[in-house]
Structure formats: C-alpha cells, structure tokens
Structure 1
C-alpha cells in the first residue's frame, strides 16, 4: 500500500491520526465513506467537530455582533484551519486574527487578505521576516500591535523591506501580559509611529482576558479599568490621527460582552472607528472553561440580540468531541482509555466522558458514572464504579476543556453530521 502525507497531494497518510488503514484514499472521498466514530470506523483516538453546532455558534455570534454594533476577526490560532477561517469570513466576519508571522503566512497563502496580527512580532530580524511576507502579498491589509518604540521599529523595518507604505499599527494597552502600561508608554509608542515614514496609526488594542482572576467581581473591576485606559489611549491616537479610520480591538471568548458594552459607545461617538473583537474559541465552545464562562455571562445578564434575550450557556453548543477506546480494565474501579496528553487539552480541566458505545449502541447512563482522573502521554485513567459494565473495546466520546490547546494536537479533525457520520476531513496547519 502507498500513502501520501501531503495535503496538497489530496491523499491521506497512515501517519495522520484518525485515518483508517486504507489504500491511497483521496481526501475528498472522506465524507463519502459513511464512517462513524461510535461504530469504531475511525482509527482512535480521533477528534471530531459537530458541523451543526459550529454553524449555530457562528450564526449566533455574528448576529450578536451586528446587534451590538461590533465586528469580529476570529482568532485563527484556535483551529489553524484556513477552510474554517474562510468560512467565518464568508459568513460575515470582518477579517481574521493571527498570533504571529507564521500564522499570517499560512492564512495569506490560502487567500485571506485582511489580518489582525494580534501580538508584538519581536525585534528587527522579525521585522525583516514580516517584510518579506508583506512583499510576497502586497495586497494584504495588515494591522499589527505595538506597545513600545522598539516594537514600532520592528514594524518600520518590515514596511521598509516590503516597500510597503501605510502599514497599520494598533497601540496595545495591557496588564498582565504585553501592552503599554501607562500614558507615557502610549505617548512614546504613538510618537514612534508618527516618526516612521511607512507606518500609520491604525487604532488601539487590548486583551481583557489577561486581567481575569478567580474572583468574578475583581475581574470585572480590572476589565473596567483596562477599558478606561483603552478609551484614553484611543483619544490620544485620535488626536494624533484626526482623519484616519481607526480600529478599537479587544475581546476574547469569555468577556466579549463586557468589552463591547464599554467600547462600542466610544466608536459610535467617534463616528470613524470600528470595534473589532478577536474571539475564536467560542465558535467551538467546550464542556469546561467556556461552559463556565458562558454561565458567568448569563449571570451578567446573558446575550441580547435585537432586543431578544438569549442564554449563552444554552445557546452556545460544544462542537468538539474526542473519541477513544477502552484498552484495559486492569483492576476494579479503573479503566485505561487510549488517549493522553498528546491528544487532549488538560491545562483548563481534564476531558469529560459524555457517551459510551458498545458495538455502535449507546450504553445509556454509563458515561455520567465515569471520570478521568489523570493522563500520561498516551493513556487516560478513568474512575469506574464497582458495578460499572465498562469493557475493553467500548468507545467513549469525551468533551474537552479549552479548544485552543486541544486542536493544536491534531493534523486532521473530522466533521460530523447530526447522525454522527463523518462529513469531511479538515486539515489544521499549526507550525
């Protein structure tokens, strides 16, 4: 048998997890096989995403953005899938966010042309690398973060190498992570942009998630303070660029409602500015960190779309499922499943058993009696009740916590329809 690993060859590789052993199956044939992970048709472990849930999350959030008078450039770092990035843009997203030059290169090579580079890039060597990329894609609209004159110098180097005039710089405010810490740093960064020949002031940016704490009230106070500083920095940028169309960017997937409430009025009062959120993980949601975040959002009042209330916890649906097989029942109360830290996120909580299947038939009620207690590289340890009928060969569907650090473990994720049948194989392109 011969297998080709490169996706541009349009054939799948035995080295790609989840693909059954088949002879040279073309990629476009995946959705025609009728495979069902619950039946054991995929090589396990495998990661799938619910096409219907993803589309519902997308449509809900884009409707909310329109109602809240904000735009969104979904963060591509979550799935690093050019196809999903394009699908979000085609559905109405303003553009796409990337975290570094490598991610920008992937998205540009697949046709995306409006990017937020939501990070400082580093020093002059990084500026030369970005410049080479911009030279290859002269039609890109790129907005990059800077929080110091040194960061501005790197972007100026990029613009010089690319012979690119008008590279947009967003002055980043911050606390807990990158970002200018005070007015003096903001003013110095603005002055550096104004002094550079090929740069222009594009607006301001921040990331509110970096100030979050376990205390919900303290988190709200910290975000409010950061939003106040962001508004003050925006006023300084506006004074320095009175006629420029500006961006105010913030918003991850946990506090997007809070930042929109704070920043949308600033943009509206200005009349020539757009609030651009960067939420990415919420399109996938999860059974852990974002399930908790949406419950907190509901405690803040929930979502209002054109005057209609929606529960975030009830409306956003977890789209990712990790499938694994029971490998061993070595002792009473213990089962070993065939996945581990190489396959699943664990930084924000361990995977949660959702459903158990035997020979394609669900064993009702069993999953609720199981729990993952720990992981090592390729094994999951499950606590099993003494009378639990879990057996070697049973297939378990797990919910995950934190899509960003789960998806980056997979070269391919499989779309599933409402009946649990594979619709397509979707490549990811993490560096």
Structure 2
C-alpha cells in the first residue's frame, strides 16, 4: 500500500501570482499540531476541535495529567512546555483569557529552566502569541525556534501563520513550502489549502482539505477538516454540502463551537433558521466569541426579532468595554459590529489601530467598511482594494467594495462587485445579501 509519507509535497510557487506545477500532496497524521491560528480568510477566529471529540472532559484529563507531571518533575522544561501548549489548545476552544495566562506562565517557567535552545517552549510561545493575535510576537518566536532547530516542520507552521496575518503573503507561502518540503503531512497540507483559499482558488483549497480529511488520524483532526470544508462549500454558494460537512463533523465532535457555527451559517441560508439560532446559541455557550454573538444577533435581526438581537449586541458592547480596558487591538467582528450597530467613527478608530498591528486582508475589509459607514468613501475604496488584492473569493468583501463604489457613484464597478458577491454566495449574510440585491435593483432602475 502506498503510504502518504511517500507522496511528494505540495509545490507552491509564486511569481507575480500564485502558480502551481504540482499539486500532489502527502497525507500525514497531524493537522495544525502547533501554531495554527485557526482563521478563515474573513478573519474570524475558529477554536480548535477538542482533542477527544467524544467527551469534553478529554482535554481536561490530559491537562490534569500534565499538571501532575510538572509537580513530579518541577525542573523539567519539556514538561512545562507541554503543559503550556495543552493550555493554549484549551484556551482556543473556550476563548478563556485566564487559560491563556496559565499557558504563558507554564511556557515562561520552561524558558526560565532552559532559556536557550528550548524548542518546545519557543514553538509554544509562538502558538500562544498567534492565538492572542499578537502576530509580530509570533513571528519573533517562530524565528527563534527556527534558529534552534531549522529542520523542525512545526516551526515553519508558526512562521507561516504569522506572516499571513501580517500581510506578508509571499513569505507565508515560502514558509508553507519549506514546511511541506520537510514533512508533507496534514499540517502542511492544511496550510497549503489556506494559501489557495486566500488566492481565490477554492477548487484546489477543497482538494487539499479533502485529502487532509482522509488523512486525519484523530477525531479532532477530522472535525477540523469538516469545519473548513463546510466553510469552503458555503463560500462557494453550496449550502447543502456545507450543511453535510458540518453535520459530519458534529457527529464526531458534538460540542465543537466552530462546527456549530458552520451548521448555523449553513442552516441560516435554508428554511432551518430555528436550528441555526439553536446552533449559534450552543456555540456561544462553548466560546462566547464576537463572531458567534454577531452572527446570532444579525440572524435574529433578519428574522424581525430586534429584542433578541439586542441581547447579543449588549454582550458585544460589554466585551468591547473590556477590550478597551486591556488596550488590545479589536478583531474584525468587533469592528463590523461597531460600524453597523454602533458608532462608525469609533469603528474607524478601532480599525486604524487593528490594521497597524495586523495588516491582513480581513482587517483591511473591516477598515474599509468602517470608513464607508463613516462617510469616508475615497479612503474606504483604497482599503477595500487591499482586502481583495489576492483575488480572495469573499462575497462579503465584494459586497463591501460594491457598496463603496455605489456611494461614490461608480455604477459599473458597483454592479460588477455586487453581482460577483451574489454569484459567489447568494445568501452570504442575513442582512447584507438582501441589501446587495436591493442595491443592484436600484442601479438597474436608474441606469439607462
């Protein structure tokens, strides 16, 4: 039998635009082992699937065992690093800032015990920084880890994630290529899929993630792949496949927040909106991330349930108050929320800070939308162009740029972008998709 390890690595070549000469991919057994940011191109965070999908207590038991180990071996830097990395994984699942703090404490204890050439802790610190969206710090830790062990593939995963979120796409592709050259396993495969997704090549992105699903060696890896296959299908206007992928993942990991959101988004495009409400509610119970709160609020608003929508928006406002107290940059969903349901001028200020720290495609789009809502459309168009510079097939990004063109009186490009948004995904957003159709109708009514 032909083993995945015997297959050649994916080849990612970029000159002026991404080009591929070979897309034959090896399938390993670990997906996003460390350093995975878990982000979709729209910038939303996706918590990792549980380590054991059959029981939420599985990760807790693993962490308890690691805590017992560091008690027995308090001077072992590897044990402290392993505990820190496990806590990073748990924090991604629960979105609990206290768990991130515990992870950092464990990793720094490891570094105190072994300040130099501490590969496990350096990779862990890079993963922690990425999970906190501190991507410049993640880049620094990745470079330290590479200096410690230049032949360790996981270090290039952290490096690729950091470069991507810092808008350094050529460098990110080179890091993914290096990772695949060193070990063409599921982790490098998943990142290669993301490269193609950002470039708008969703067919190749799906192919790579489907191979990752077949290669997945644990329930968590399979759940992760189903989540992203659902997202790719929905972004391509295929809610039936998106729902099927989400259902398959939830059969493995019934309490995974990312999969619950995936099923909610797919269900919201069909007649099963009550199930979508229930799924969003369940996802929020696991991890109250802004994207879930905003998704549920806007779904409720689209259903005419303003009181229920306002209940979610109130939580988002409370989260924003806490964020300002910590001076952390806003995530894209917080910026979108402020632009659409709060103060657009405040959204612009939030976006200006965020884009300096994280000049990623989705942050440029959020900045563009905030500027548009604040009436600054010339500046907004510049940011919207940056959001689509790679050719990403995002209906939301296209709608935003189309609305900006329309506000500027640029009828032809407005019609093009709005049409492309609806062609990619006719139900891409419960509020904005109907707005896109109405905008096209007004253009058609006023154009000779």
- Normalising by structure 2, we get a TM-score of 0.27
Bigger proportion of residues as strand = 1
Q: What TM-score does the superposition give when structure 1 sets the normalisation length?
A: 0.28
